[in-house]
Structure 1
Amino acid sequence: MSAPLIPARLRKLIGSIGVMVILFGWIWAFTSLYDHLPQNRFIHLVYFVALGMGWVAPVIPLITWMGKADKPLDVGQR
């Protein structure tokens, strides 16, 4: 027995909320860690560049799930 299909609109709504939750959590976690960094501009640059791009990796599976197409209806076939 297969799992029930979630319509694309609902997947996109759930995924959008999920992306925002992940992003806000990411921002909160790594801005709170900022206070524990040594006072060095190069370290700050590397920290913010890496973490500014790093939030994409956890979000990719969610975006892939959101983008799945609905299965076409089998109209007229029995």
Structure 2
Amino acid sequence: MPVRLKSFIGMIVLVALVVIYALVATTVATYRLAESPWYIHLAFFGFSGVLWVLPAMFVISWMVRPPRKRSEKQD
């Protein structure tokens, strides 16, 4: 797959990941943390703010991986 196409697909996936993840995290916080103290909110948003990096790392590593040569594809 050409590098430009991989970058385009990866960018679309990353934007979708961030939007969906933000909506889910906010929904969970709204329904589950409504009456919780401030430190629970801080812990939840700190944890969920870092958690999205894990799937993003896999997408980015896939995007920057160089294309395989034809001889490697036949193995």
Task: Give TM-score scaled by structure 2 length.
Answer: 0.82
Structure 1 runs not aligned, ≥5 long: 1-5, 74-78
Q: Count residues with an aligned counterpart.
A: 68
Match of 1:29 in 2: 24
Instruction: Mark the runs of 5 or more structure 2 residues left unpaired by the alignment.
Output: 71-75
Decide which of 40, 44, 62 is 1:43's aligned counterpart. Answer: 40
Q: Give 1:68 shift.
A: 1.0
Runs of 4 or more off by more than 6 Å in structure 1?
A: none
Deviation per CA, 1:31-75: give whole Å up to 9, x if none. 0111221331000000010000100011111111100123468xx
2:7 is matched with 12
Aligned residues with identical type, % of pairs? 28
Which has more radius of gyration?
1
Across the aligned residues of Structure 1 and Structure 2, the Cα RMSD in angstroms comes to 1.5
Higher helix share: 2
